[in-house]
Amino acid sequence: MTETHTTADIHQEKVFETHIVGCLTSEQGYIERDCAAHYSVAYALDTELLFRFLKTTQPEAWQTLEDHYSAQAEAEVLKRLEKALKDNPTHVVLRDGIKLVPNIHFTLCYFNPASNLNPDLNRLYEANLLSVMRQVTYSAKNKNAIDISTFVNGIPVATLEVKNLLTGQNVKHAEKQYRKDRSPGGEPLLTFKRGAIVHFALDQDNVSMTTRLMNGKTRFLPFNRGRDGGAGNPDVPGENRVAYLYKNLPDGKAVFSRDVLLDLIGRFIHLERDGGKEVLIFPRFQQFDAVRKLLADAKLKGAGQNYLIQHSAGSGKSNTIAWTAHQIINLHDESDQPLFDTAIIVTDRLVLDRQLQNTIGGFAQTDGVVKKIDGTSRDLKEAIVGGARIIITTIQKFGTEHLAAISGQAGRNFAVIIDEAHSSQSGKAAQAMTDALTRNATSSDDIEDMVLAFQKARGPQKNISFLAFTATPRNVTLERFGRIESDAKPHPFHLYSMRQAIEEGFILDVLQNYMTYKAYYQLEKTIEDDPAFIGRKAQGRVARYASLHPTAIDQKVEVIVEHFRRHIAKELGGQAKAMIVSQSREHALRYWQQLTRYIEDKGYTDLKALVAFSGDLNVDGNVWTEAIANGFAETELPKKFDTDEYQVLVVAEKYQTGFDQPKLVAMYVDKKLAGLQAVQTLARLNRTRAGKTRTFVLDFQNTMEEIKEAFAPFFETTALEERTDLNQIYDLEQRISNTTYIHKDEVERFADQFFKGDLTTQDRLALEGTVRLAVERFNLDEDEAQKEEFRQLLKSFQRFYAFVAQVVSLNDAWLEKLYAYTSWLSRLLPSRDVPADITITDDMLNLSAFKLQKGEEGSASLSPGETSELQPITEFGANPYTEEEEMSLSEIIDSFNERHGTQFSREDFLRFERVTREIMDEEMTEMVRNNPADVVYNAFSQAFFQGMVKMFQQDNEMRNIVMTDKDAREQATRHFFNRAQRQAKTG
């Protein structure tokens, strides 16, 4: 070795080496080989072991070789093997073998067969020769020696540099040794693709690995299991923490065991080509661990299981999905029967994730295995009916007539792999997917049997296993796909937490440098008491006017550009990039326009911006598209942004999720970010890159505390405070059935017709006529608050039933009938009157003052244990009070009663909730979510006041207080506005 140690230090290190090699030979079946006697420096092979393997496993082919080449037989094999290793990566050569004239094929490695139907394949698999050498003197130029090298049939697979913590050296010293003293130039063992597949650096506690040695530029990735939710490895009684490399443990076989190592070579390692770049992908521990454990569980339990894989954003989810898909279609059960006929990978992105497509397609070792459904739903139908092995599609394609026509698939098993699983998986498109994969012709004419068959189709299906992948599971996701553990709560099947990824340095902590700005607006009306400014719609326009005003955007643009030039531009050797997150398409365009104007005015030739938004946009009489603004097609944007020509990207929704650009160093946020959206948006910054050690966020809309609260549930393992009470479905059903609008006999009459199927136009008219009886009763009711509550009740029932029916087999025909009936009723109920649009202009309103003031600055990072649990689902509509809100409400009630001598209770004041529900429609919710409080409070206050007056028409005491006591009214309004803000962010 080139490093200088004392005799004691060398002895200490060799003790660890000896222990590793001893475990490999005694427990994993390795043969220990002597480097001096058996290693060929020129070929980087153990040639004697190679020939022993070929002669033993393929005697007929070897005999043909000797008959043709005589004494040159071994030399010809080495020549062909050397050529193969020069032209192809080592793992490909091990998979494909070599061929020689005359038609002699040598297999260089036998992989574990998918089934036990052919005993010869199992015998050959066991005949693989795994070997290990210590102190491998690999170079003809110097005496450098690598601590440990492992071989498969004489061909090098891995090298290990081992350090002993007792000598004061650790895994980082091993990495440094690879970078400094293990130059790959002219060294076959260390040459990328040609030599050993992977290089490990390790001490007794930690492991890292790389597949490409590049001297000082070598990048090592963590290869640890994780410890207590963070980086590192757990304790192993009586062993080193890295024992999982060489020793079978209760929770899994060793990485270097025959089964795992050959599985990695045969089914995981992959050469990824992107343009002129090549990257040899060796899975990180959590990736292959998740895949192998998932497959083992499926093999044991069969189809019909749920799996939730919570892996941090930026952790290589696309690769993990690809490995899972390709391997699960070849999985056999204990009876050697194929478990799954087809793997279907679905996403809810309308534009199918190209990265995911390319990754999965690139892993295919056989042409035609993967069907990418870029076209119509007809293509999807043909793929399913035609028995395609792997299908990649969007979830939306299942909700079409073509898929509704599919039947007879219930006898086939499907592994449905969900990319970015969240609440949409309990929606209609997800149900349509299940229907298509399970639908069979009904054999009963009894209406109750038909209804129960519909309901059963919503629940767990014995022929479908759901494999849901996400970094940020919501409560719905946990309940739908999680596994119930000893605490009686659902948990992820496999976890690689955000905290572990950050602590390992695999992703960056995007909250490390956080700065907030607060905007102060002063608006003046040109015409006092203008009726155009009365009402919720007008106030929303006022808020939008303020946020789009050139003065407001100009000041923000100046802050952004100067911050970028001062703090960001120098990062990554001048290649750093930034993203501006805006609240709407028009905001994005105007930001881009004023950003471009400011850059030109300042003469900043080193700065150029792009903009991303969907569809057409009419602004100031001109029609804009993303392509028109940027000057090239939308599909070109990711590549263009990657060049040195552009530094800033302004976005509105697009590229806030699923966008992978490691050069992003800064994000400028001018949009309210609700919990999950905050995590997904800011995660665009977390990708690592050589030289990228920190990120910056400058936020005009959110506080540091709000962002920390958003990240807390997803920092470690995501957990539920308690399981959802599914019996709430009966509470909702009873509340609906007890209203004056619903008559049970009409629901039954509707169901009798609806569930017979094959509805004619006349049938549909009759069904609509039945439902309109309830609509008429609804229209006759003059209590608008009660009618709005009924609307919300129907919405809650629809969403909650869709969820409950997926989680459990209900076996309750009445609920299914009511669900079908209320689906029609919801569509036929009259919509609320929407005031005409009001356009706010400079003639009507003046932004008399606008000021940006720097707020908080520092770290918003979370600490270990600084997490929060998700709340259970509460009727998909109710939003429980927080402790702070309860205290605030108590203070309001006490104040009211003290000032007016009244005895109002909590229940009296919760009537204000109905007012809030009524005014918080989609428009008001978006306005509250996307604007500063001081901009939208006036709009909320006016709408809330009108709602209070209407609500308390029959309550003189409360109405008089509301009308006359301005302070009390303001106190209540402020309380419910704060609560509405929280609901807007989390709902």
Residue type, 520: Y
Helices (H), 654-783: 675-682, 704-715, 728-737, 744-754, 761-780
In this prediction, residues 826-845 reach a mean pLDDT of 61
The answer to whether residues 511 and 708 touch, using CB atoms and an 8 Å cutoff, is: yes
| Half-sphere exposure (Cβ direction) of 806: Cα atoms closer than 13 Å | 30
pLDDT, residue 2, reads 39
What is the number of H-type helices and E-type strands within the chain?
37, 29
CB-based burial label for 748 (10 Å; 0-12, 13-18, 19+) = middle
User: What confidence tier does 20 reach under pLDDT thresholds 50, 70, 90?
Assistant: very high
On average, the pLDDT of the chain sits at 85
In this prediction, residues 851-864 reach a mean pLDDT of 85
Percentage of residues in the chain having pLDDT higher than 70: 85
Q: What is the pLDDT of residues 34-55, one digit of tens each?
A: 999 999 999 999 999 999 999 9
- 462: tokens are 């014995």
pLDDT, residue 834, reads 43
Give the helix/strand (H/E) hosting 622: strand 622-624
The answer to whether residues 175 and 155 touch, using CB atoms and an 8 Å cutoff, is: no
Helices (H), 856-952: 883-900, 906-909, 911-919, 922-930, 933-951
378 or 932, greater pLDDT: 378
- 460: pLDDT strictly greater than 50: yes
- The single-letter DSSP state of residue 567 is I
| Half-sphere exposure (Cβ direction) of 895: Cα atoms closer than 13 Å | 16
Q: Is the peptide bond before 102 cis (omega within 30 degrees of 0)?
A: yes
The answer to whether residues 689 and 604 touch, using CB atoms and an 8 Å cutoff, is: no
Q: With b meaning 16 or more CB within 10 Å and e meaning fewer, what string describes 707-740?
A: bbbbbbbbbbbbbbeebbebebbeebbebbeebe
The answer to whether residues 358 and 406 touch, using CB atoms and an 8 Å cutoff, is: no
CATH of domain 283-496: 3.40.50.300
User: For the ranges 311-320, 877-886, 898-907, which has the lowest average pLDDT?
Assistant: 877-886
Q: What is the pLDDT of residues 194-207, one digit of tens each?
A: 999 999 999 999 99
pLDDT, residue 376, reads 81
- 707: tokens are 């962002």
Backbone conformation region of residue 529, classed left if phi is above 0, alpha if psi is from -120 to 50, else beta: left
- Partner residues linked to 394 by β-bridges: 347
CB-based burial label for 746 (10 Å; 0-12, 13-18, 19+) = middle
DSSP 489-518: SEE-SEEE-HHHHHHTTSB--TTSSEEEEE
Task: Give every strand in the sheet of 198-202, ordered side by side.
Answer: 31-33, 130-137, 145-152, 155-162, 198-202, 207-210, 221-222
User: What confidence tier does 214 reach under pLDDT thresholds 50, 70, 90?
Assistant: very high
pLDDT, residue 352, reads 40
How many Å apart are CA 713 and CA 475, to the nearest integer?
A: 10
pLDDT, residue 1, reads 38
Q: What is the pLDDT of residues 759-793, one digit of tens each?
A: 788 888 999 999 999 999 999 988 777 887 888 88
pLDDT, residue 841, reads 56
Q: With b meaning 16 or more CB within 10 Å and e meaning fewer, what string describes 446-469?
A: ebeebbbbbbbbbeebebbbbbbb
- 659: pLDDT strictly greater than 60: yes
Residue 71: alpha-carbon gap to chain centroid:
59
Helices (H), 648-692: 675-682
CB-based burial label for 118 (10 Å; 0-12, 13-18, 19+) = exposed
Percentage of residues in the chain having pLDDT higher than 90: 50
In this prediction, residues 544-557 reach a mean pLDDT of 80
User: What confidence tier does 868 reach under pLDDT thresholds 50, 70, 90?
Assistant: confident
Q: Which of 555, 566, 583, 553 lies closest to 666 in space, CA to CA? A: 566
- pTM score over 0.85: no
The answer to whether residues 195 and 165 touch, using CB atoms and an 8 Å cutoff, is: no
Q: Which of 635, 667, 672, 632 lies closest to 651 in space, CA to CA? A: 667
The answer to whether residues 340 and 303 touch, using CB atoms and an 8 Å cutoff, is: yes
- 663: pLDDT strictly greater than 90: yes
User: Pairing relation of β-strands 664-670 and 696-699?
Assistant: parallel
User: What confidence tier does 524 reach under pLDDT thresholds 50, 70, 90?
Assistant: low
Residue type, 449: D
Residue 498: alpha-carbon gap to chain centroid:
12
- 526: pLDDT strictly greater than 60: no
User: For the ranges 318-322, 386-390, 455-459, 752-756, which has the lowest average pLDDT?
Assistant: 455-459
Other CB atoms within 10 Å distance of the CB of residue 679: 23
> Per CATH, which fold does 514-715 belong to?
Rossmann fold (3.40.50)
- 657: pLDDT strictly greater than 70: yes
How many Å apart are CA 390 and CA 346, to the nearest integer?
A: 11
Q: Which of 282, 281, 290 lies closest to 321 in space, CA to CA? A: 290
- 894: pLDDT strictly greater than 50: yes
How many Å apart are CA 54 and CA 63, to the nearest integer?
A: 11
CA dihedral 64, 68, 71, 73 (to 10 degrees): -60
In this prediction, residues 382-390 reach a mean pLDDT of 89
In this prediction, residues 90-115 reach a mean pLDDT of 94
CB-based burial label for 503 (10 Å; 0-12, 13-18, 19+) = buried
User: What confidence tier does 878 reach under pLDDT thresholds 50, 70, 90?
Assistant: very low
Q: What is the pLDDT of residues 152-177, one digit of tens each?
A: 999 999 999 999 998 899 999 999 99
The answer to whether residues 676 and 661 touch, using CB atoms and an 8 Å cutoff, is: no
User: What confidence tier does 649 reach under pLDDT thresholds 50, 70, 90?
Assistant: very high
Residue type, 813: A
Q: What is the pLDDT of residues 319-340, one digit of tens each?
A: 899 899 999 999 998 788 889 9
In this prediction, residues 183-200 reach a mean pLDDT of 96
CB-based burial label for 282 (10 Å; 0-12, 13-18, 19+) = buried
- Partner residues linked to 518 by β-bridges: 853
- Partner residues linked to 21 by β-bridges: none
From residue 967, alpha-carbon distances to 321, 663, 973 in Å are 58, 52, 10
From residue 580, alpha-carbon distances to 321, 597, 740, 930 in Å are 30, 16, 51, 15
User: What confidence tier does 474 reach under pLDDT thresholds 50, 70, 90?
Assistant: confident
Helices (H), 232-331: 258-267, 285-301, 317-328
User: What confidence tier does 123 reach under pLDDT thresholds 50, 70, 90?
Assistant: very high
Residue type, 233: N
- 468: tokens are 């849901």
Q: What is the pLDDT of residues 494-503, one digit of tens each?
A: 999 999 999 9
Residue type, 74: E
pLDDT, residue 877, reads 44
User: Pairing relation of β-strands 464-470 and 370-372?
Assistant: unpaired
The answer to whether residues 942 and 536 touch, using CB atoms and an 8 Å cutoff, is: yes
User: For the ranges 109-123, 733-747, 954-968, which has the lowest average pLDDT?
Assistant: 954-968
Q: Which residues contact 200 (CB under 8 A, 6 or more apart)?
A: 158, 159, 160, 161, 207, 208, 209, 223, 245
